[in-house]
Chains A and B, each alone.
Chain A
Amino acid sequence: MMAFLKLLFRNRLAAMGAVVLAFIVLLVILTPILPLQNPDITATADRFKRPFTDGHLLGTDHLGRDLLSRLLWGTRLSLAVGVAAAVLAAFFGSAIGITAGYFGGKVDNIFMRGVDMLMAFPYILLALAIVAALGPGLMNALIAVAAVNVPFFARNIRGITVGLAGREFIDAARLAGMGHTRIILTELLPNVLPVIIIAMSTTVGWMILETAGLSFLGLGSQPPQADLGSMLGEARSALISHPHTSVVPGIMIFLIVMSINLLGDGVRDALDPRLRSGALSRPLPTTLVNRKGNIPQPTDDLLAIQELETQFHVGKRIYKAVGGVSLAVKPGECLGVIGESGSGKSVTALSVMGLVASPPGVITGGAVRFQGEDLVGAPYEKLRQKRGDRVAYIFQDPLSTLHPLYKVGQQLAEAIQSHHRVSNSEARTRAIQLLKDVRIPNAESRVDNYPHEMSGGMRQRVGIAMSLANEPDVIIADEPTTALDVTVQAQILSLLDDLRRERGLAIIFITHDFGVVAQLCDRMAVMYAGRIVEEGPTNSVLSHPLHPYTRRLIACVPELGEGRRELAAIPGLPPVVDDLPPGCAFAPRCEKVRDECRQGDITLDRSGARAVRCLYPEETL
């Protein structure tokens, strides 16, 4: 509770709302003992006095009554009526909701049908009908407003109750022989109450406004008694000649509603954990760049990632997701990048085209060179022209990576049309051809499918087709086969391999699957905690791993036909990258660790095609 209040008041706007509201409530409570004039005494000689005249701080109304006094008494009435309506609505709505939710079945059905009917009305029609039947008057307006809001409470509370009614403690109470009434009052109600109170706090402003509205229409409080709405309604006839009589109550309603809104927003934000972490920010079109240090010189590789550093800045924490990674591919080459989840391999891949979500992602060092040209910090338009055209991505989980509301043909066509001036019909023809290229049967009809109408393997092929749309030079495939079953996986891998040989494209293949690397890649790199720990030709690395981590990783892989053997899981978890210890990041989990491993940076030692970041490698280089 304290944490909640703290969170609430850290929100400056919510705190402001709370202060304004508290001030108004205090004024209203003190109204009877404040030295105010009688709000109902008319003095026609003094009518329409302007504000700040003697004896009348806010002036007088059309009958010469003191506006300040009327304002405070009116506010008092409005607040009281609004709160009373909220309590009434909450009481009856919750009673209906709890009953419907607890008993379920027919009771639920009948109650909720009724509630649905009530919700089919625009709210004011219902309120007007009730007032029409009961006759104008403040009490009747209160009943009308409460009745109109009952469905809202009934719905919400029913939802919560249904969830609770199936829980064990309710069953336990039932088995203990408690009656329904007692279960509802002692077991259910305490759990539902906080929700009721929150729902009340978010709707009370609304109900104050609604009762004021009815009074404004002349259907609520009747003269001489006045609430804010009827004050405004009476002042309307003198709006043009004496605007202050309208402005005063109007501003009061505005202040009340706004402060309640601010407070309500604050409560909602404080309760919604997603907003709490500040996670609800949208990624910019390109990753932010804030490079310190030297920018590495160009090489003759097709695509070179050079000493790349990518971090996530969350609040005061800095997660070094990628800490100085260098990788390169030549045309027709396939490089496998392997590592556990969280090792930074996907972030490395996304950094290439500036696709790391930002905020919180920031590229803080190094370079990414395509044909020698640095892409880090390149202007957006330059980057965009390369994206999908020269360097294309294949993502994991094509159900979430394809747009659910566009046909796959449209999505393929768009990939082409983003880079080439091509007519729609031609783009469609090319899209069908692409689907054929990735061996999707009935491409002509599949092109008009939505992603949800396809199977997982099919969608993944669409993802691959999309990456091929502009015949790129490099494809970065981020675990494209993880979500698929083995036979589909094999098909997709051989498809990629064919394409590589036919079109001479370079592939960076990110995976945690050694089998895939062995099948597809010429070279491989192993990542751990944001750095490369080992690199070399695939066969050589797999047969003679140098880094203890690589060896242990390979030992984790079960092999078919080997019979039962103990799989050597690596104890412990990969480190969190916001506070890496000095030295080797694998040290805490390494069997061969020595003191030197924990001191100072360990370099990536290169010898011929192999490289390893370890002081005591399995075999000497």
Chain B
Amino acid sequence: MGSYILKRLISAIPVLLGITVIVFLIMSMIPGDPATAILGSYATPENVEKINRDLGLDKPMVQRYFIWLGNMLQGDFGRSFSLNRPVLDEVLERFNATLVLAGTSFVLCSLLGILAGVVSAARQYGFADKAITFTVLIGISVPSFFLGMMMILLFAVNLKWLPVSGMYAIYGGGDLPDLIRHLIMPALALSAVATGVIARLSRSAMLEVLRQDFIRTARAKGVRERKVIMGHALRAAMVSIIPVLGIQAGFVLSGAVYIEIVFQWPGVGRMLVDAILTRDLLLVQGGVVFVAACYVLFNIAVDVAQSLLDPRIKT
């Protein structure tokens, strides 16, 4: 197992390099003078000169890429001009908040989605199946940002059950219950679509598995039906569910951008949007590379989980 993880980590290196190349290429599409674009139009001449020197903008592109990459490897993602602090510090701080939100949503959508799919398959064509199928259809059709806004209207404004937005209360908050109260709505809104997708997939994966011969064998052995479904069938279905969980994690991370805007969540998505609107390009660049790299590592974790589940995968 250890060697498999190592092998996967090594195979991630070209992907990570590819990510930096792509981001670099996209950023070099910026029209006009990059230094001014990066620093904004109110940049002082000294600053323009400094960034030209730091990024080596007078040098050829290939060389520039390696300077940038080398700096990043040393933990230097540049400096955000709008916040006047190192990009990496800001990204790390914001990413923490995103991780809380997206992580919670991911756990939620995985658990709820798989559970709904299993129940739906086990009660195929029954009331529960129809109710779940209908809910899922609605769930995957509502844009998460609209769902979030409607939740604010209902639960925060009308029912006053939950705070409207933010991560902590401004006065007197800051503890875990406070965080949870703030987290409920955004996490639910963010997980809705992914829950639906996972539920659908789990249902069809379960239906596929339940028709297999080994399920009949389990029943012929006299295994209790609950165990047939939750053990034999779900275990086999997980083989096709887990890769989709990995893909959905990407969608949850993407959706977090909208949800962070709607709920004023101080995460990396909102940071990126603000950075784009203020043309703080080094912040965008650093944020994108950092989050994409985290996602690549997460996908390795998914692969490892898959290999733990399925002994047929050669490790």
Q: Does A452 contact B (CB under 8 A)?
A: yes
Question: What count of chain A residues pass the 8 Å CB interface test?
Answer: 79
**CA separation between A512 and B239, bound complex, in Å?**
36
5 smallest beta-carbon distances between A and B, as pairs: A117-B18, A258-B141, A124-B254, A282-B210, A250-B146
Q: B265-297 interface mask toward A, CB cutoff 8 Å, 1 = contact, 0 = none?
A: 000010011011101010011001001100110
| B69 CB → nearest A CB, Å | 15
**CA separation between A280 and B250, bound complex, in Å?**
30
10 A-B residue pairs with Cβ-Cβ distance under 8 Å, sorted by A, are A122-B292, A123-B251, A132-B26, A236-B149, A253-B146, A280-B204, A393-B220, A400-B214, A401-B214, A403-B218
Q: Does A537 contact B (CB under 8 A)?
A: no
Best-buried of B149, B224, B251 by chain A (most CB within 10 Å): B149
Determine if A216 and B145 form an interchain contact, defined as CB atoms under 8 angstroms apart.
yes
Q: Does B15 contact A (CB under 8 A)?
A: yes
- Closest-by-CB residue of A relative to B283 is A132
Q: Does A488 contact B (CB under 8 A)?
A: no
Q: B55-69 interface mask toward A, CB cutoff 8 Å, 1 = contact, 0 = none?
A: 000000000000000
- Closest-by-CB residue of B relative to A380 is B225
**Given the interface contacts A120-B15, A120-B19, A404-B214, does A125 sit within 8 Å of B137 by beta carbon?**
no
| A270 CB → nearest B CB, Å | 16
Determine if B152 and A239 form an interchain contact, defined as CB atoms under 8 angstroms apart.
yes
Q: Does A130 contact B (CB under 8 A)?
A: yes
Which of B44-52, B78-86, B304-312 lies on the face that meets chain A?
A: B304-312
- Closest-by-CB residue of A relative to B270 is A217
Determine if B207 and A282 form an interchain contact, defined as CB atoms under 8 angstroms apart.
yes
Q: Does A589 contact B (CB under 8 A)?
A: no
Determine if A387 and B220 form an interchain contact, defined as CB atoms under 8 angstroms apart.
yes
Q: B206-234 interface mask toward A, CB cutoff 8 Å, 1 = contact, 0 = none?
A: 11101111111111111111011000100
Q: Does B30 contact A (CB under 8 A)?
A: yes
The residues of A that contact B184 with a CB separation of less than 8 Å are none
Q: B231-252 interface mask toward A, CB cutoff 8 Å, 1 = contact, 0 = none?
A: 0100110010000000000110
Determine if B149 and A122 form an interchain contact, defined as CB atoms under 8 angstroms apart.
no
The residues of A that contact B212 with a CB separation of less than 8 Å are 400
Which of B2-10, B89-97, B255-263 lies on the face that meets chain A?
A: B255-263
Which of A24-32, A413-421, A517-525, A590-598 lies on the face that meets chain B?
A: A413-421
Q: Does B111 contact A (CB under 8 A)?
A: no
Determine if B216 and A121 form an interchain contact, defined as CB atoms under 8 angstroms apart.
no
Determine if B217 and A402 form an interchain contact, defined as CB atoms under 8 angstroms apart.
yes
Q: Does A227 contact B (CB under 8 A)?
A: no
Q: Does A620 contact B (CB under 8 A)?
A: no
Q: A429-471 interface mask toward B, CB cutoff 8 Å, 1 = contact, 0 = none?
A: 0000000000000000000001010000000000100100100
The residues of B that contact A339 with a CB separation of less than 8 Å are none
Determine if A118 and B284 form an interchain contact, defined as CB atoms under 8 angstroms apart.
no
Using A133-B281, A135-B279, A240-B164 as known contacts, list a sample of 20 further A-B pairs with CB atoms less than 8 Å apart, ordered by residue number in A: A13-B137, A120-B15, A120-B19, A120-B292, A123-B250, A129-B284, A129-B285, A131-B276, A134-B31, A217-B273, A232-B146, A236-B262, A280-B211, A350-B216, A400-B213, A401-B217, A404-B214, A406-B235, A415-B223, A452-B312
The residues of B that contact A355 with a CB separation of less than 8 Å are 216, 219-220
Of A250, A261, A404, A450, the contact of B150 (CB 8 Å cutoff)? A250
Determine if A405 and B309 form an interchain contact, defined as CB atoms under 8 angstroms apart.
yes
Q: A226-270 interface mask toward B, CB cutoff 8 Å, 1 = contact, 0 = none?
A: 000000100010011001001100100110011001100000000
Best-buried of A280, A380, A403, A450 by chain B (most CB within 10 Å): A403
Determine if B220 and A353 form an interchain contact, defined as CB atoms under 8 angstroms apart.
yes
The residues of B that contact A113 with a CB separation of less than 8 Å are 18
Q: Does A281 contact B (CB under 8 A)?
A: yes
Determine if B214 and A402 form an interchain contact, defined as CB atoms under 8 angstroms apart.
yes
Of A122, A133, A216, A388, the contact of B220 (CB 8 Å cutoff)? A388
| A247 CB → nearest B CB, Å | 8
| B258 CB → nearest A CB, Å | 6
Q: B129-167 interface mask toward A, CB cutoff 8 Å, 1 = contact, 0 = none?
A: 000000001101111011001101100010000001000
**Given the interface contacts A118-B22, A125-B254, A128-B257, does A415 sit within 8 Å of B222 by beta carbon?**
yes
Main SS of the interface on chain A? helix
Of A380, A387, A400, A405, the contact of B221 (CB 8 Å cutoff)? A387
Determine if B291 and A414 form an interchain contact, defined as CB atoms under 8 angstroms apart.
no
**CA separation between A243 and B228, bound complex, in Å?**
48
| A218 CB → nearest B CB, Å | 6
- Closest-by-CB residue of A relative to B239 is A405
Determine if B213 and A397 form an interchain contact, defined as CB atoms under 8 angstroms apart.
yes
**CA separation between A258 and B196, bound complex, in Å?**
13
The residues of A that contact B251 with a CB separation of less than 8 Å are 122-123
**CA separation between A117 and B18, bound complex, in Å?**
6
Q: Does B73 contact A (CB under 8 A)?
A: no
Determine if A243 and B153 form an interchain contact, defined as CB atoms under 8 angstroms apart.
yes
- Closest-by-CB residue of B relative to A258 is B141
Q: Does B124 contact A (CB under 8 A)?
A: yes
Determine if A136 and B254 form an interchain contact, defined as CB atoms under 8 angstroms apart.
no
Of A126, A212, A239, the contact of B153 (CB 8 Å cutoff)? A239
Q: Does A373 contact B (CB under 8 A)?
A: no
Q: Does B190 contact A (CB under 8 A)?
A: no
Q: Does B107 contact A (CB under 8 A)?
A: no
The residues of B that contact A128 with a CB separation of less than 8 Å are 257, 272-273, 276, 284, 288
Determine if A122 and B214 form an interchain contact, defined as CB atoms under 8 angstroms apart.
no
| B154 CB → nearest A CB, Å | 10
**CA separation between A283 and B208, bound complex, in Å?**
10
Of A134, A236, A283, A415, the contact of B216 (CB 8 Å cutoff)? A283
The residues of B that contact A258 with a CB separation of less than 8 Å are 137-138, 141
**CA separation between A482 and B124, bound complex, in Å?**
34
Q: Does A109 contact B (CB under 8 A)?
A: no
Q: Does A299 contact B (CB under 8 A)?
A: no
| B165 CB → nearest A CB, Å | 10
Q: Does A385 contact B (CB under 8 A)?
A: yes
Q: Does B29 contact A (CB under 8 A)?
A: yes
| A115 CB → nearest B CB, Å | 10
Determine if B142 and A254 form an interchain contact, defined as CB atoms under 8 angstroms apart.
yes
**CA separation between A253 and B141, bound complex, in Å?**
9
Q: Does B253 contact A (CB under 8 A)?
A: yes
**CA separation between A216 and B149, bound complex, in Å?**
12
**CA separation between A232 and B262, bound complex, in Å?**
11
The residues of A that contact B223 with a CB separation of less than 8 Å are 388, 414-415, 418
The residues of A that contact B219 with a CB separation of less than 8 Å are 285, 355, 387
Q: Does A376 contact B (CB under 8 A)?
A: no
| A493 CB → nearest B CB, Å | 21
Q: Does B179 contact A (CB under 8 A)?
A: no
Determine if B221 and A388 form an interchain contact, defined as CB atoms under 8 angstroms apart.
yes
Q: Does B27 contact A (CB under 8 A)?
A: yes
Q: Does A392 contact B (CB under 8 A)?
A: yes
| B228 CB → nearest A CB, Å | 7
Q: Does B87 contact A (CB under 8 A)?
A: no
| A124 CB → nearest B CB, Å | 4
Q: Does A335 contact B (CB under 8 A)?
A: no
| B206 CB → nearest A CB, Å | 7
- Closest-by-CB residue of B relative to A130 is B26
**CA separation between A387 and B225, bound complex, in Å?**
12
The residues of A that contact B146 with a CB separation of less than 8 Å are 232, 246, 250, 253-254
The residues of A that contact B125 with a CB separation of less than 8 Å are 281
Interface residues of A in 367-422 (CB under 8 A from B): 380, 384-389, 392-393, 395, 397, 400-406, 414-415, 418-419
Q: Does B101 contact A (CB under 8 A)?
A: no
**CA separation between A133 and B275, bound complex, in Å?**
11
**CA separation between A403 and B137, bound complex, in Å?**
33
Determine if B311 and A125 form an interchain contact, defined as CB atoms under 8 angstroms apart.
no
Q: Does A219 contact B (CB under 8 A)?
A: yes
**Given the interface contacts A122-B253, A400-B214, does A282 sit within 8 Å of B124 by beta carbon?**
yes
Determine if B273 and A133 form an interchain contact, defined as CB atoms under 8 angstroms apart.
no
Q: Does B119 contact A (CB under 8 A)?
A: no
| B286 CB → nearest A CB, Å | 11
Q: Does A83 contact B (CB under 8 A)?
A: no
Of B216, B222, B227, the contact of A419 (CB 8 Å cutoff)? B222
The residues of B that contact A387 with a CB separation of less than 8 Å are 219-222
Q: Does B121 contact A (CB under 8 A)?
A: yes
